[in-house]
Structure 1
């Protein structure tokens, strides 16, 4: 097994629901607090570590159900309260290895004091919810610690034996602390955080978000101060197909300034679970917590690997702090490679296909506006900008649906990387047009001086009709400009015959001209030419198709 550095747990938030004993845990907690005069404080030992537990109460916003709950359970509590159990490690010198439990009752039909119904999962029945928020404790240690802590303050640990399947994790993070001299590749412009956000950008199908902040709250410049990329389930699976959970990858420094020789003056690299970025959930069973820990662990390791940072523990790479030991891991982990290369190649191939096949004027105009407007426009706005009919724009967008994401009134490029490729194509097309115009001007100038007059006439003819000519060893391609809707067939005959005449007058081989590839457009519809003779016929198609004239 390859040896990797061991990541450390950081934040963790979860809802532990218990219904095996109904409301008994709530009633028992109420009695214990009253017996202790409003609180209870004690210590206990867990896994050779000393802990302190403090039980207290707070006023409740829940409506008292009266003598009985809607299910008929006797309710002898006059004043509604909720309860807090604060647990912290006594062996932690910085006081940050701890958790807090907020215990509230649950029963179907429960309401707030204002009369609003409180959602209770269907099928849960009566029970309690333990909302836990902690830090710097392994995820699978929280439940044993909950039992020990409640037992220590005088409440039966058996009440918290088996969490209900509706229990769920809300937040979790694992991290490593890196030496500030080696972490640069992670937050660099071509580093994994930027590349994942850049290549997987999509604000309408799935979710991604990139934050790149190189300035502290004090206004001081600090490269990599807070760089994150957040990927929803769809996006994370494009980067890491074996993973399921949505995550945030972040490189960040402590908000407080520390001396250079202090461990906290060096940045963290963390991966955290993002519960709001999918419709699923991760529970608190052993299997779920193992998956959670594994995916976060592998995401951190993969980010390091994609930054070419050594994954083995080393003093020049990793910095030990109170909770991260920079030690070798005994976990069986596989290194998961980010598929940014595959994603990049897929996006390139899509753009290249459309550029090679040719784009209609409406498609060009739509892409150009998406690039220049940042990719957040409507078909109507594109139509208004270029004097098109909105239906023409929508049909054009349908033909390039693998370049864009769209709903009826909202269009965006699939990613900023696609946007860069399209932008380059648009610029190249503009440059090609400028080159053709310059070539035509030079040809006319040459003709005026009596130089190569016949060649100049052919080039001038192409420039006049907006024809792009590409002649190679294996043949030639002529792209005709936009033609009038009513007379396009007659125009094609006239223009191509005129071109053939000028081509022959320039002493060029007519067979090359006749066997070339030709395309013309009117409105948003493409027409393939099957003949340039008197019996010219055209075929209207809905997508780019090249035909060779024989």
Structure 2
């Protein structure tokens, strides 16, 4: 096997609008329903696969237009109906029965009215430029996204509706939902959903604490209340924040690690005993749309696949297994295969973001905050909901202009938009909360680090060294030994010995190297714990 593992398609939903033939597809469906006595069945083959089709109808809340539409077209149907095509892989080929889609066909015309559940009638908004059209809403699963339109045409043809009606979607057609996923062995999935793993970290570090929409879910209980670590863990990020992790991505996404409902009851050799890691497009998280063109679908697949691979790689999983299937588990719709021409995983670099945010907080504390700035931060971490400069001023009996001036001085800690103020991330909020709660100790500690940062600057070190200083202060590294006494052995103090000491030190080594410092000096450092035990850094670091 070569290249990176290829995720499989899961959920998909899209609204296809067809106006080239007006309402002809709708009238054709009505005709076939009547000729079939209420429904009609068909079958077709595509790419060597057998598919079954059922055409049926449902009631409609579209108000009957009378004998003529507002557009002038004669209307000869007595009942208002809408139509559905249920398209499924043949049962002999899909024994799981979850590969297929449902296509809901509804009419559209200018001036169309609908009746609400409470009996009120209102005009349905049909885009300008659309005279008459058929809207087809597709919801499916486990089918490559690029196949849906072709399968729709073949399905329609199989029940007597011309497939050509569905050849040219209008530019207003758009994708509503889409997910790509892999299935991984449950013994390998822990780092993905861990409290310090990529899912939690993205929500923790990349989102401001009150930014429009932020959702992090960490549920370790299944539907029956049984404990199952990683049962349903997700993070949802809007387009602006997702670009902090994926600079060339535009689509808002949800990243998730989840099990099937009955995973707990499945034997070890069942794919359902093992979780999925998926990434889905979240249309409700932005005010733009993603179309259904070939380029749109390529962008969708590229971004979703790259996000899946990047999350797995950040968690330390082998996304390019060259022997066997690595940590992956095949199922009915996900085959463990790799491809050379797919997207490469991106280094999420969440540790660097964390270190930079620590450095920003420490810098402000070291430089000293004004009383108004302290008061502003205190309000931000204790006040729920939206907070404005006026709210802060009222809380502390200050003039609102004084608050605004104070906030301008800490722009890298807070976000100010539309008279609303919020901290830049929930992680920054935690750091500031700790500082507010333990103000004297925090300021003293930060001031010491500030002095060391000045010392580092005098020695001509680049800005990357400040990231290490922030890390060092956070974990109790004796930075003074590290910087000023180069002939002495560096010493680190790390509190109580813990299982993740090796992870902490590997993080420190990476930041140390990026600061241009000699690797061996770090590796040979003495590690002193608060219980009095002493060890060597190299014992906790991977070889080399």
Please indicate, yes or no, whether the TM-score normalized by the shorter chain is above 0.5: yes
Residues 1:5 and 2:2 are matched in the alignment: no
Residues 1:158 and 2:164 are matched in the alignment: yes
Instruction: Provide closer, same or farther for how the CA distance between residues 215 and 4 of structure 1 changes in structure 2, counting only shifts above 3 A.
Output: same
Deviations 1:361-401 (A, max 9, x none): 11112213333456864545544554444543343223323
Deviations 1:288-318 (A, max 9, x none): 1111011101100000110110113544511
Instruction: Provide closer, same or farther for how the CA distance between residues 427 and 172 of structure 1 changes in structure 2, counting only shifts above 3 A.
Output: same
- How far apart, in 2, do the equivalents of 1:400 and 1:319 lie? 48
Residue among 292, 298, 307 paired with 2:306: 298
- How far apart, in 1, do the equivalents of 2:138 and 2:344 lie? 30
Equivalent residue pairs, number = 441
Residues 1:270 and 2:272 are matched in the alignment: no
- How far apart, in 2, do the equivalents of 1:406 and 1:471 lie? 30
Q: What residue ranges of structure 1 are gaps of 5+ in the alignment?
A: 436-467, 476-550
Residues 1:106 and 2:108 are matched in the alignment: yes
Q: Are the aligned partners of 2:435 and 2:442 in contact in 1 as well (CA < 8 Å)?
A: no
Residue among 95, 98, 104 paired with 1:96: 98
Greater C-alpha Rg:
1
Residues 1:15 and 2:28 are matched in the alignment: no
Instruction: Provide closer, same or farther for how the CA distance between residues 130 and 408 of structure 1 changes in structure 2, counting only shifts above 3 A.
Output: closer
- How far apart, in 2, do the equivalents of 1:22 and 1:247 lie? 35
Is the partner of 1:402 in helix, strand or coil? coil
106-115 vs 364-373, which deviates more? Answer: 364-373
Is the partner of 1:41 in helix, strand or coil? strand
Q: Are the aligned partners of 1:40 and 1:153 in contact in 2 as well (CA < 8 Å)?
A: yes
The aligned counterpart of 1:80 is 80
Q: Which has the higher contact order (CA 8 A, sep 6+)?
A: 2
Instruction: Provide closer, same or farther for how the CA distance between residues 206 and 340 of structure 1 changes in structure 2, counting only shifts above 3 A.
Output: farther
The TM-score with structure 1 as length reference comes to: 0.75
Residues 1:53 and 2:63 are matched in the alignment: no
Instruction: Provide closer, same or farther for how the CA distance between residues 374 and 417 of structure 1 changes in structure 2, counting only shifts above 3 A.
Output: farther
- How far apart, in 1, do the equivalents of 2:150 and 2:425 lie? 45
Instruction: Provide closer, same or farther for how the CA distance between residues 387 and 157 of structure 1 changes in structure 2, counting only shifts above 3 A.
Output: same
Deviations 1:152-201 (A, max 9, x none): 00111011111111110000000001100000001111110111111112
The aligned counterpart of 1:285 is 293
Residues 1:173 and 2:183 are matched in the alignment: no
Residues 1:308 and 2:316 are matched in the alignment: yes
The TM-score with structure 2 as length reference comes to: 0.76
Q: What residue ranges of structure 2 are gaps of 5+ in the alignment?
A: 456-544
- How far apart, in 1, do the equivalents of 2:444 and 2:286 lie? 48
Residue among 441, 465, 468 paired with 1:431: 441
The aligned counterpart of 2:241 is 235
Displacement of 1:423 = 3.2
Deviations 1:300-354 (A, max 9, x none): 0000110110113544511111111112235432222224245335433432442
- How far apart, in 1, do the equivalents of 2:249 and 2:328 lie? 26
The aligned counterpart of 1:248 is 254
Residue among 255, 260, 266 paired with 1:259: 266
Q: Are the aligned partners of 1:3 and 1:328 in contact in 2 as well (CA < 8 Å)?
A: yes
- How far apart, in 2, do the equivalents of 1:190 and 1:302 lie? 16
The aligned counterpart of 1:450 is none
- How far apart, in 2, do the equivalents of 1:344 and 1:214 lie? 25
- How far apart, in 1, do the equivalents of 2:374 and 2:386 lie? 16
138-147 vs 367-376, which deviates more? Answer: 367-376
Q: Are the aligned partners of 2:6 and 2:342 in contact in 1 as well (CA < 8 Å)?
A: no
Instruction: Provide closer, same or farther for how the CA distance between residues 342 and 121 of structure 1 changes in structure 2, counting only shifts above 3 A.
Output: farther
- How far apart, in 1, do the equivalents of 2:7 and 2:341 lie? 10
- How far apart, in 2, do the equivalents of 1:97 and 1:167 lie? 23
Is the partner of 1:198 in helix, strand or coil? helix
Q: Are the aligned partners of 2:22 and 2:133 in contact in 1 as well (CA < 8 Å)?
A: yes
What does 1:527-538 correspond to in 2, within 5 Å?
Answer: none
The aligned counterpart of 1:220 is 226
Q: Are the aligned partners of 2:18 and 2:169 in contact in 1 as well (CA < 8 Å)?
A: yes
Is the partner of 2:220 in helix, strand or coil? strand
Q: Are the aligned partners of 1:208 and 1:235 in contact in 2 as well (CA < 8 Å)?
A: no
Residue among 121, 136, 142 paired with 1:130: 136
Residues 1:329 and 2:339 are matched in the alignment: yes
Residue among 204, 207, 218 paired with 1:201: 207
